[in-house]
Amino acid sequence: METIEVKTWNVFESNCPSRQIFERISDRWTGIVLMALEDGTLRFSELKRKVEGVSQKMLTQTLRALERDGLVSREVFPTVPVTVEYTLTRLGTSLLATVQQVRAWAYANIEEIDAARGEYDRRALSS
């Protein structure tokens, strides 16, 4: 019987490749773009309108990174001007579930976080 080697990852090690995933997930726009695509395929211009505050450059960089990681697929249509559509992949949809949990946690706890920030800022000003 053949033995299959199972790799053990340790995110605390500097050379652990899972750190790259943590970097991608913690990127400012990654989760928001994934959630923007949760209802289906969108053109670049639709994503740009939906994700308020993101620059064209940052949206392009984020989508390229998500495509490179296999989280988003990109389809180009030869129209004038060119139409580009983005869709979550199976892998992207699986990450979306986690991002949605973080969103739910944020919605449930934002008032407590705001109160903690206010208290911290008051203490910082008085010291």
Domain segments of the chain as ranges:
18-126
Give the single-character DSSP code of 122.
Answer: H
Give per-residue pLDDT as tens, 16-70. Answer: 888 888 899 999 999 999 999 999 999 999 999 999 999 999 999 999 999 999 9
Residue in the block written with tokens 């913690």: 26
Task: For residue 90, give the amino acid letter.
Answer: R
Task: For residue 38, give the amino acid letter.
Answer: E
| pTM for the model | 0.86
Strands (E), 1-127: 42-43, 72-77, 83-88
Residue in the block written with tokens 């249509």: 77
Output the CA angle 60-64-68, nearest 5 degrees: 175
Handedness of CA 91, 100, 102, 24 (dihedral sign): positive
Q: How many Å is the Cα radius of gyration of the chain?
A: 19
End-to-end Cα spacing for the chain: 67
pLDDT band, very low/low/confident/very high, at 7 (cuts 50, 70, 90): confident
CATH number of 18-126: 1.10.10.10
